Structure 1
Amino acid sequence: MSPRNVLESQQFVHAATAGRRAAGCWKLATGQALSLHPDTHGVLQIAQGQAWVTLRGVLADMPGAAVDHVLRPGEQLTVAPGQHVVMEAWSGSGCAEPVAFRWDVLAAPALAQPASTAARDWECGVVQPLRDLGQALGQGGRALGTALASVAGAGGRFAVGFARFALLRIAAPLQRRPA
């Protein structure tokens, strides 16, 4: 799956980064859009919130046509290779909540037997929040490390400045003394 930006003015979330497949539960914050160009069959399923999804590509007899969908929790959309999906959080009232969704690549056996609902619920309800927590703790640790490095740098600059000030205050009266 290769992500591609569609609109330069919006913030975009890329579902796949270097060396990582886009599968499992994902979150899409309000004000962000997601653009997908899958190279295999897949299913987009909404776990939480509402999403406005535009599906563009080969649709029946209309190549290049676009169809809009509003997907609610539990609803899904099958996407064929070569189609383009743009998704964003949506609410009719104007204040959209973040969207939690699943993207599953469909292989031939997976088309015949989808994962159980309990397994999907466990993935979205337990495993993904634990991944999110681990990522948040990692980001917090990096931020704390950066802050400590900045404090150490400021402390070092303060010590050098104070030493320079003290030397000037001590050395100046010594130089003015008559011999």
Structure 2
Amino acid sequence: MSTDRVVSLSVPAHARAGQWRLHPGHAMTLCPQKTAQLRVRHGRVWVTYAGVEGVAPEAAGDHFLGVGDVLTVPAGARLVMEPLATPGDASPVCFDWHDSALSAAPGRFAREVGAPARDLAAALGQSAQALARLLRGLAGYGDVLLAGRGRVLSPLESLRP
């Protein structure tokens, strides 16, 4: 890794979660207190981490990640990453950094109550829109539905007995 510009961040845990950007020519060091996940949203990065007991040797070390790749980083590791940019490319790498607990699968309540409630709300919204369109359409035919009271008949309508 290039050592000419190294950025080492020491920020509170709540500020680290979320989307980050890392520009070419810079490196970033992160030391998670809890198991965390790194997800690359844009670009490619070279990541290396070490300093964790009980982690298989092939899990630690160098990793090359691209868009959509996720790396789970154990608590206590020291992770260093740097963008892999082509010459002349100045666009930053965008990535998410979250505690693993935040990225866990939704709970039973969210699956069995929350998701159907959101589906029902969407269906009711669509039903209301359909009803409004139906009423607007019927209002446009009000003159026909009023059986000709006070309106001028078209030539075809006047030919009827």
Which residue of structure 2 aligns with residue 17 of structure 1? 11
Consecutive unaligned residues in structure 2, runs of 5 or more:
108-161
Q: Percent identity?
A: 33
How far apart, in 1, do the equivalents of 2:25 and 2:38 lie?
Answer: 19
1:26 counterpart letter in structure 2 = W
Higher-RCO chain (CA-CA 8 Å, sequence separation at least 6)? 2
Q: CA deviation at 1:18?
A: 5.8
Secondary structure of the residue aligned to 2:104 is helix
How far apart, in 1, do the equivalents of 2:56 and 2:13 lie?
Answer: 35
Q: TM-score, normalised by structure 1?
A: 0.49
How far apart, in 2, do the equivalents of 1:18 and 1:60 lie?
Answer: 25
Deviations 1:103-126 (A, max 9, x none): 01122x743339xxxxxxxxxxxx
Equivalent of 1:111 in 104, 108, 114: 104
Q: CA deviation at 1:94?
A: 4.4
Count of aligned residue pairs for this structure pair: 104
Q: Answer whether contact 2:8 2:30 (CA < 8 A) is retained.
A: no
Q: Answer whether contact 1:13 1:28 (CA < 8 A) is retained.
A: no
2:41 counterpart letter in structure 1 = A
Equivalent of 2:83 in 76, 89, 98: 89
2:104 counterpart letter in structure 1 = L
2:32 counterpart letter in structure 1 = P
Q: CA deviation at 1:98?
A: 1.6
Q: CA deviation at 1:56?
A: 1.2
2:106 counterpart letter in structure 1 = Q
| Distance change >3 Å, CA 102–CA 42, structure 1 → 2 | same
How far apart, in 2, do the equivalents of 1:55 and 1:67 lie?
Answer: 5
Which residue of structure 1 aligns with residue 21 of structure 2? 27
* Greater C-alpha radius of gyration: 2
1:113 counterpart letter in structure 2 = P
Q: Answer whether contact 1:52 1:68 (CA < 8 A) is retained.
A: yes
Q: CA deviation at 1:17?
A: 3.0
Q: Answer whether contact 1:50 1:90 (CA < 8 A) is retained.
A: yes
| Distance change >3 Å, CA 29–CA 80, structure 1 → 2 | same
Structure with the largest fraction of helix: 1
| Distance change >3 Å, CA 67–CA 95, structure 1 → 2 | farther
| Distance change >3 Å, CA 72–CA 94, structure 1 → 2 | same
Aligned-pair RMSD on alpha carbons?
3.0
1:38 counterpart letter in structure 2 = P
Consecutive unaligned residues in structure 1, runs of 5 or more:
1-6, 115-179
Secondary structure of the residue aligned to 1:85 is strand
